[in-house]
Structure 1
Amino acid sequence: MNRILIWILFFGLGTTSAYSQGIEVTGKVVDAKSQNPIEFATIKLLDEDSGQMIAGTTTLADGTLILSTESKNFSVEVSFIGFISQQIKDIQVVNSKVNLGTIALEEDTQQMNEVVVQAERSTTEFQLDKRVFNVGQDLSSTGASALDVLNNVPSVTVNIEGQILLRGTGGVQVLINGKPSVLTGDGGNALGTLTADMIDRVEVMTNPSAKYNAEGVSGIINIVLKKEDKKGVNGSVSLNTGVPNNHSLGFSLNKRTEKFNLFSQIGVGKRTMPEDFESLNRNLSTGAEVQSVGEVEKNENFFNLILGTDYYFNDRNVITASGNYAFEGESETSSGDFSTYDGQGLRLSGWQRNEETEASNPKWQYEMQFKSDFTEDGDHFLLVSAIGSSFAKDQSSSYINIPTYGDGAQSLEQLSDNDFSQAEYTFQVDYTKPIAEKFTLETGGQYFIQDVKNDYAISDFESGDWVVIPELSNNFFYTQKVLGIYGTGAYEADKFGLKVGLRMENTNIHTLLEETDEENNQAFTNLFPTVHASYKVAKTFSMQGGYSRRISRPRFFDLNPFYNIRNTYSVSTGNPDLLPEYTDSYEVTGILDHSLFSLSASIYHRYITQTVEDVTILEDGINITKPMNIGTNKVTGLEVNGKMTPTDWWSLSADFNYNYFDRSGTYESAPFGFQSNQWTGRLTNKFDLPADFSLELVSDYRSSYQTFQRNISGYAMADIGVRKKIINGKVIVNLSVRDVFASRISESETLNPDFYQYSYRQRGRFVTLGVSYGFGKGEAMEFSGGRRR
């Protein structure tokens, strides 16, 4: 299989030589008034005689364009929504090159007031140190949340527990607008308060530059939120309803004047997430078993509000103040039927365990940012920002055991209380200066403070009173401080680019279990070098390479020894003694961009030390799972992404990722080693149908794989999305069915000489209908709504 994959890669890369001839056309498109670059402007090369389009492209983030043609008799048409199109004739060809220079487009106010047309955006863009995935065309994510959007991004997977993986590996740092956010905490679950209509694009950095925090062994995912800055009043509103309950209302409003840009986003809704579960715990020494089967229903009411303003002192200096308030009110019920069996399979006892959980999760974040541009093009600037955030969780769970069979089943009532609070502060300075036309220097620093307190207690109801269980109750305090400084230098020419950087971070971590006076202090300083290079082999083919060293510090929820006791025979807890993971990451990518199709292929390798994995041990008949540092992990993989447009009404894209694991280490004084592999594939078909209908079909497969103790099953699933544009695109109606065949499962087996454990979870099908409306100069939202973990 490996030979076939490598053959596919090099066959795709080898075809580029056929497209290396012709005339190269370059230029830059800007707003005539502000002189800011215009991204995604449409560039068409038209035959002078017939007027037919010869080639086309869109501009990059800096407004630049590049494309090629065999024809010598053509004109150029430049257009963008809301601006007056320009047509350039009398093209001068010099040495097989055409430089259009800077093309300034004038805003077409009358057109924008009359009609709103949605700009089509390229799905994927490759930059020197990251890939950018534009969200706007994902029809099957109607009613989705940020987690669902991430699950549709190539290289990214989100499992049923809400864990985010990048190329099959955890330890991902998630940012919002390039900075840490209170919404990326809580194990990623707080991202459910971000509705998908708020998201502009997702940036994936498998080898981030030294400019970014070194956190995240597998890389960084940056979620960039929409922020309209066209003058006038702009906005959009969306309404969604679904089965099971997925009801939401989303609203955005922006007003831009000469000095101010006021922006706001609101999301509010209610959702239900049902789940079926099964579990089996078997003691291999005695043959005794505990089996359970049941269902869970989680209900959430959520609210998210973002308010902010930009104030322009002048054309080059702007200050931004923004705030974010999010709230989740949770209620969860669980009912499971438990049975015990002896070594001969005889049922000994049975009981029903019922759970009721209530929780409130308020989250605040506020930010002040100042940017000063020293040049008109914005390439030389200073950026200073300060962010503060707080997150609280007040959760109470009650459990009741009701005997149903046998004398061994006893009545039991338990209570779990969890009072959690977290405060974070980030102070950051970034300075960028071009030294010459092709050289750029960046430097800056960041200071991050995290302060967490968690009071937890588990009690049994005995003789009419609640009695706290001391060994399962404590007050846990956690403090982390990280100081980082960095510097990068970049050289970017027409064909070759090189960027090198170095980041230094000093980390201090302190944990304290107050009741037992268990204290853990960690202090360490690390250097994190990064290197990125690119080379344009031909007009349609380029190569990229990158290296970075990264760290994954234990999160609070990995350290917190709070027990989850939904199943008293299979509990999970954190590990206060957990150490950080380190990784060295290498990558080489080939990118082929032809007018009919695009293809990229990456070969990558990651060497991870102090690897963190969930380890299960058996104590007094109870399986206890907690994260531990277990040896090293060598990951070698191949990733291929391709897109093709066979006709003007049909496009398809495919993503494939294969990686091979080589695990080794020592556990309980005994060495271990094993090899495993996993692969994922996704195929997306999009159809433009008559009467402004669009259809999207997504098929997704995740293979089984092995970890230190577990075998994780694979699954196949499918999503469907339908969209209808009406009233000149101002109103969009979306219908999505996620997990059409209810085949997305989480199934694992834990293998150990002393015990066997089996776990199964399934969520089911989600159907959502949404309507969105864009007004002013805004665009109708593509989708919005709730989350599915």
Structure 2
Amino acid sequence: MKKLLLLTLILGIFFTAHAQFPSGGFGGGQKKTTVTGRITATILDSLTKKPIDYATVSLINAKDNKSVNGGVTDEKGKLTLQNVSPDSYKLMIGFMGYKTKSVLVTTTPSKPDNNIGTIYISSSENTLADVQVQGTKAVIENKIDRMVYNAEADGTNAGGDATDVMRKVPMLSVDINGNVQLRGGAVRVLINGKPSGTMASSVADALKMIPAEQIKSVEVITSPSAKYDAEGSGGIINIITKKSNAQGVSGSVNASAGTRQNNGAFNLTAKTGRLSVNTSLGTNLAYAQNSRVIMNNITPTTNIYQDGYSKWSRSGYNGSLGLDYDFNAYNNLSTNIKFNRFSNGGPGESDILINQVAQKNISDMDMAFSNMDWNVDYKKTSKKEGEEFSISGQLSQGRNTTDYNNILRIPNVGDFPDIRSNLGKNNEYTIQTDYVLPITKKTTLETGIKGIFRNITSNNDEVAQDFDYNQDVASAYGVLGFDLTKKIKVKGGLRAEYTDITGVFAGSLPIKNDYFNLFPSVIISQTLKGNSTLKISYNRRVQRPSLFYLNPFRNNSNPFSPSEGNPNLAPELSDNIELGYSTFIKGSVINASVFYRRTGNIIESFIREINEDNVDKVLTTYRNIGTAETFGFNVFGSYNPKPKWTLMANIGLNTYEVNNELTNQSSGTFANYNLFARSAYGFGKGWNFELFGVVNSPRRTFQGKTDAMIFYGASIKKEVLKKKGSIGFNTLNPFNRDLNIKTINTTATTYQKTDIYYPLRSFGVNFSYSFGKLKFTEKKKIKNDDVKQDQQQGGMGGVQQ
């Protein structure tokens, strides 16, 4: 009944917006429509007559000086700006070491396309302050509400996966297992602005499904407005893949082979008239390598020491198919279907001493994840600039299986097998509608409503352990943006979310909960002298536990250190305040911020002693530990000693302190930090060389500490085939095969130490080739940003590479 009422409300809003639009509404009626056009140009050096690749071009409306479009030139200096409405514009062209040039451009309804031809720009010691191009290509873009890491510009990513890319994104910290945090807080990860059922099960595993060659950029949003779902105490990460809508046919092929893993990626886009089709396919295969694992559990009566290995392999593939059609200049319909499958696992064995009595555990683990996401999006615009209405639907179906086979061998006693299987399902149905109304030239109102219906099930070998969980979320928001003065901009909003949870565990244990939350947000930015910007923001966020945290399935792949989820977890709620400053000084970029975050009901892994078969064991599960307070700062800088040499660095620091209200205990205050440095140099004739290094400090939890992590890499790349292709060599941690990480957790009566040697060293070669031209456009997509995702690698029991 609740779902029916919510659907009725959404449809009501849909028709109300229809009625409120000017005549001509949704494609019919009397209003005359105009199909948008494109502007093309070629940018050359005025002296050498050579093309300027990666020059930044902004299209500015001549009437109000607002930027309406933009892009960068390709390797031939060519630029195409799509979806340009008929009007008068200024084309602003800038590149490091060159004078900024302005060109007047006009398009009309009768001639919407304008080929300007060749534009020459001359060198200068001054640099356009707004241009964020460093060296041979812009790797970092600093925007008012987000920082963008252009992964395709970083040659050291070749041959890796999305986890490797994340480790080099400013402000993010990623440990060896794939745990992703943004300034010490949990994050919501989106793919092309959309959630994925696989992400809802395990972020770390889902990231390893995506070859690095498929990633165009990563957006880090630290202060999301009320328009976004309230998920993510630290913020939102949006991964943009290499797919687009383009005129004609374009695509790319990438292949990498190495000692650690192999990747392949294919992207194809075709557009004829108003119809565009895009498709992609990616695959990866990681070789099986031994990871040594040492564990020591000590309780008052039992000392268990384990020394063994796991030999895991990993394989996966993903693909997508999308259609996009413009009925006219004001009505667009698009649909996209994505699928992926990923599996990992393998054999392992461990020598065990229980109070000095020798035993052996022989194991074989297999875990698989698969997911399908289908989206349908309709968007309507009008002659009124900036007005937009959209309605979107999404179906997401995810499956994950965990199968393991253990044999506990006790000398002179016998073998004791343990075979178990678990199937988890995560189905989501989403519908949303959004409306953007420009009230005046300087004031814009954004509103919308959304419904998410989730069903999570976990079916085990033991019928009594089945888990069925329903979570329905209804939300509405309003955001108002306006110019307070010529230099001060304000965007404030409020989001309301109602969550209804029902379920059953073990056939008889009912789960029932519902709660209503308000999530305010405000951001104030001021433009200062010298092209600097100062901003302050506040927002409230939530983290709902996902299947990984909730699934009560007992994973006994390590019989003496089992693990399970907790179906009774409450959501986290956090309040965030941030003060940020950014500036451009002669081409150099500096971005700094300080922040404070208070999180209630913070969710962490938790160990406790259990006794099974007359043996004390250490169980790992999850609990709402208490309230966490975090202070921190982040500084990013980029500098070009020479036009083709880029140096960049990022340093982030945040405190960790949790107070447990039940025991009135404090974890104490600790400092976490992460460092990233990169140097890229273009030697000319298509040669580029890059070095990078990452340092993540020890990480604290309420019960324990994990070692620091340091890794580094390099790549060299040569452009071939008239700059349409490249071939390169890359390496990661070449001087150390293993990365040794220790984790120690303690309670009043229990001590647990895990010492793992991850095989990280790798060498690889890669090849890429692009054909046609990729011209990007953006479409409004569904974003389910409301579920706390797994920040752990693999289903709580194995070691992965």
1:211 is matched with 227
Q: Is the 1:275–1:761 Cα contact (8 Å) retained in structure 2?
A: no
1:182 lines up with 2:197 in the alignment: yes
Shift of 1:376: 7.4
Q: Partners in 1 of 2:39 and 2:454 — Cα distance?
A: 38
2:312 is matched with 298
2:687 is matched with 693
Q: Partners in 2 of 1:122 and 1:524 — Cα distance?
A: 44
Q: Partners in 1 of 2:681 and 2:738 — Cα distance?
A: 24
Q: Is the 2:530–2:583 Cα contact (8 Å) retained in structure 1?
A: no
Q: Partners in 2 of 1:292 and 1:143 — Cα distance?
A: 34
Q: Is the 1:42–1:78 Cα contact (8 Å) retained in structure 2?
A: no
Q: Is the 1:511–1:576 Cα contact (8 Å) retained in structure 2?
A: no
Which of 489, 493, 518 is equivalent to 1:497? 489
Q: Which amino acid aligns with 1:776?
A: G
Q: Is the 1:692–1:726 Cα contact (8 Å) retained in structure 2?
A: yes
Q: Which amino acid aligns with 1:509?
A: I
Shift of 1:79: 6.2
TM-score, reference length from structure 2? 0.80
Q: 1:727 to 1:337 in 2, by over 3 A?
A: same
2:543 is matched with 552
Q: Is the 1:367–1:387 Cα contact (8 Å) retained in structure 2?
A: yes
Which of 373, 385, 389 is equivalent to 2:381? 373
Q: 1:436 to 1:593 in 2, by over 3 A?
A: same
Q: What SS is found at the alignment partner of 2:681? A: strand
Q: Is the 1:541–1:593 Cα contact (8 Å) retained in structure 2?
A: yes
Q: Deviations over 1:407-443 (max 9, x none)?
A: 6x75211011112222111111111121111111111
Q: Which amino acid aligns with 2:236?
A: I
Q: 1:538 to 1:742 in 2, by over 3 A?
A: farther
Q: Partners in 2 of 1:45 and 1:495 — Cα distance?
A: 34
Q: Is the 2:256–2:767 Cα contact (8 Å) retained in structure 1?
A: yes
Q: Is the 2:405–2:419 Cα contact (8 Å) retained in structure 1?
A: yes
Q: Partners in 1 of 2:248 and 2:468 — Cα distance?
A: 49
Q: Is the 2:293–2:755 Cα contact (8 Å) retained in structure 1?
A: yes
Where does the alignment leave 5 or more consecutive residues of structure 1 unmatched?
A: 1-31, 68-76, 90-96, 112-117, 342-347, 458-467, 780-786
Q: Which amino acid aligns with 1:276?
A: S
Q: Partners in 1 of 2:589 and 2:343 — Cα distance?
A: 45
1:129 is matched with 145
2:498 is matched with 506
Aligned ranges 1:748-763 → 2 under 5 Å: 748-763=743-758
Q: What SS is found at the alignment partner of 1:185? A: helix
1:561 lines up with 2:552 in the alignment: yes
Q: Partners in 2 of 1:151 and 1:675 — Cα distance?
A: 25
Using the TM superposition, name which of 181-190 and 437-446 deviates more: 181-190
2:354 is matched with 340
Q: Is the 1:144–1:195 Cα contact (8 Å) retained in structure 2?
A: yes
Which of 720, 726, 733 is equivalent to 2:714? 720
Q: 1:640 to 1:670 in 2, by over 3 A?
A: closer
Shift of 1:130: 2.2
Q: Is the 1:84–1:106 Cα contact (8 Å) retained in structure 2?
A: no
Q: Partners in 2 of 1:664 and 1:401 — Cα distance?
A: 40
Q: Which amino acid aligns with 1:209?
A: S
Q: Deviations over 1:664-701 (max 9, x none)?
A: 1235x453341111111111111112431211111111
Q: Deviations over 1:608-656 (max 9, x none)?
A: 1111121211122111111111221110001000000101231111000
1:463 is matched with none
1:570 lines up with 2:585 in the alignment: no
1:252 is matched with 267
Which of 515, 524, 540 is equivalent to 1:533? 524
Q: Which amino acid aligns with 2:221?
A: M
TM-score, reference length from structure 1? 0.81
Q: What SS is found at the alignment partner of 2:660? A: strand
Q: Deviations over 1:581-621 (max 9, x none)?
A: 10000000110112231111100000111111212111221
1:672 is matched with 666
Q: What SS is found at the alignment partner of 2:253? A: strand
Q: Deviations over 1:235-291 (max 9, x none)?
A: 1111221213x23331111111112001000113422353524333343534x4211
Q: Partners in 1 of 2:191 and 2:685 — Cα distance?
A: 37
Q: Partners in 1 of 2:509 and 2:725 — Cα distance?
A: 59
Q: What SS is found at the alignment partner of 2:208? A: helix
Which of 589, 596, 602 is equivalent to 2:580? 589
Q: Partners in 2 of 1:336 and 1:600 — Cα distance?
A: 48
Q: Deviations over 1:191-228 (max 9, x none)?
A: 32222233222221122100100011111111222333
1:768 lines up with 2:764 in the alignment: yes
Q: Partners in 1 of 2:729 and 2:49 — Cα distance?
A: 38
Q: Which amino acid aligns with 2:281?
A: I
Q: Partners in 2 of 1:177 and 1:413 — Cα distance?
A: 45
Shift of 1:109: 10
Q: What SS is found at the alignment partner of 1:674? A: coil
Q: What SS is found at the alignment partner of 1:431? A: strand
Q: Partners in 1 of 2:396 and 2:655 — Cα distance?
A: 39
Q: Deviations over 1:553-582 (max 9, x none)?
A: 111211111122222221221111111110
1:58 is matched with 56
Q: Is the 2:322–2:334 Cα contact (8 Å) retained in structure 1?
A: yes
Q: Partners in 2 of 1:313 and 1:400 — Cα distance?
A: 63
2:366 is matched with 358
1:636 is matched with 631
Q: Which amino acid aligns with 1:309?
A: L
Q: Partners in 2 of 1:63 and 1:304 — Cα distance?
A: 40
Which of 445, 448, 456 is equivalent to 1:444? 448
1:783 is matched with none
Q: Deviations over 1:460-502 (max 9, x none)?
A: xxxxxxxx6x9xx610111111111101011246522110010
Q: 1:709 to 1:361 in 2, by over 3 A?
A: closer
Q: Is the 2:136–2:644 Cα contact (8 Å) retained in structure 1?
A: no
Question: Aligned residue pairs: how many?
Answer: 695
Q: What SS is found at the alignment partner of 2:555? A: coil
Q: Which amino acid aligns with 2:400?
A: K
Q: Is the 1:37–1:63 Cα contact (8 Å) retained in structure 2?
A: no
1:312 lines up with 2:326 in the alignment: yes
1:73 is matched with none
Q: Partners in 2 of 1:643 and 1:672 — Cα distance?
A: 39
Q: 1:273 to 1:156 in 2, by over 3 A?
A: farther
Q: What SS is found at the alignment partner of 1:193? A: coil
Q: 1:35 to 1:572 in 2, by over 3 A?
A: same
2:13 is matched with none
1:391 is matched with 398
Using the TM superposition, name which of 178-187 and 767-776 deviates more: 178-187
Which of 592, 606, 610 is equivalent to 1:619? 610
Q: 1:746 to 1:425 in 2, by over 3 A?
A: farther
Where does the alignment leave 5 or more consecutive residues of structure 2 unmatched?
A: 1-33, 66-70, 82-88, 93-99, 108-112, 120-133, 776-793, 795-799
1:265 is matched with 280
2:245 is matched with 229
Q: Partners in 1 of 2:406 and 2:357 — Cα distance?
A: 18
Q: Partners in 1 of 2:90 and 2:577 — Cα distance?
A: 45
1:431 lines up with 2:423 in the alignment: no
2:468 is matched with 477
Q: What SS is found at the alignment partner of 1:610? A: strand
Q: Partners in 1 of 2:493 and 2:150 — Cα distance?
A: 27
Q: Deviations over 1:288-309 (max 9, x none)?
A: 4211122222223322120011
Q: Which amino acid aligns with 2:56?
A: T
Q: Is the 2:38–2:80 Cα contact (8 Å) retained in structure 1?
A: no
Question: Superposition RMSD on alpha carbons, in Å?
Answer: 3.5
Shift of 1:717: 1.3
Q: What SS is found at the alignment partner of 1:572? A: coil
Q: Percent identity?
A: 25
